[in-house]
Structure 1
Amino acid sequence: MITPPDSRLVLIADDDCEVLNALRFALELEGYQVGAFATGRALLDAAHGAHAACLVIDQKLADTTGLELIMRLRASGVATPSVLITTNLPTHLRIRATNLAIPIVEKPLLTDALFATIRELTGGPTLRG
């Protein structure tokens, strides 16, 4: 039996502890359950069987890049919608993300763009939405 995704579970990978904690806090305020990981490897391990509704992945992780992580997840059968968060993504990587249908939200995260993107990908209700 295939388990449907939990529309309230979001997994985050960011190796900046302050950003990771701020994202976790903000998403929990939005009504999401959050799994937060400091490495791509930890998120990769957790994503299998987690049935998350969405992944939020920083492009510059200590052990991999966000795009590489998403490609590894997809190659291993994890088709969870993913959002790439980054600053100044080079054009060739922006094109690659677009071709893979991966939305990009630019840092700093000063607007509601990340929340709007997550809502669009998950269709899940939030406390604010």
Structure 2
Amino acid sequence: MIAPPDPCLVLIADDDREVLNALRFALELEGYQVGAFATGRTLLEAAHGAPAACLVIDQKLPDTTGLELIIRLRALGVATPSVLITTNLPTHLRIRATTLAIPIVEKPLLTDALFATIRELIGGPTLGG
């Protein structure tokens, strides 16, 4: 039996430690539980063991691209809603993400676009459990 996703768990993959820590802090302030990873491989492993509500994945990771990681996760049966964060994504990759129904949030993350996208995909956490 597969465990249902934790409605408050968001997993993030970004190799920029400052961005990763800032995202973790901001999402925790929003009420989410957060798992943070610096590589695609570690997020891939975690996504199998911890059924998250949402994945936030940087396009440029040291061991893969965000799009390829999401495609690989889906091929493995992990259908967790995912958000791609990136800067200046080429048009052909933007079209590919759109075709795969992967929302894109542009860096720098100066607005609440990422949080709005996560809420749109999964809703907000319920305070108090």
TM interval, short-chain normalised: over 0.9
1:19 partner amino acid: V
Match of 1:28 in 2: 28
Q: How many residues align?
A: 127
Deviation at 1:123, TM superposition (A): 1.7
Match of 2:69 in 1: 69
Normalised TM-score (structure 2): 0.95
Stretches of 4+ moved more than 2 A in 1? 124-127
Per-residue CA deviations over 1:68-119 (Å, capped at 9, x if unaligned) read 0000100011000000000000000000000000000000000010000001
Deviation at 1:125, TM superposition (A): 3.0
Distance in 1 between the 2:38 and 2:115 partners? Answer: 20
Match of 1:17 in 2: 17
| Unpaired stretches in structure 1, ≥5 consecutive residues | none
Secondary structure, in 3 states, of the residue corresponding to 2:101? coil
Deviation at 1:126, TM superposition (A): 6.2
1:106 partner amino acid: E
Distance in 2 between the 1:90 and 1:126 partners? Answer: 37
Deviation at 1:50, TM superposition (A): 0.8
Asked if 2 retains the 8 angstrom alpha-carbon contact of 1:11 and 1:34, the reply is: yes
CA RMSD of aligned residues (A): 1.1
Match of 1:50 in 2: 50
Matched ranges for 1:80-95 at <5 A = 80-95=80-95
Per-residue CA deviations over 1:32-70 (Å, capped at 9, x if unaligned) read 000000000000000003110000000000110000000
Match of 1:99 in 2: 99
The percentage of aligned residue pairs carrying the same residue is: 91
| Unpaired stretches in structure 2, ≥5 consecutive residues | none
Between 1:70-79 and 1:1-10, the stretch displaced more is 1-10
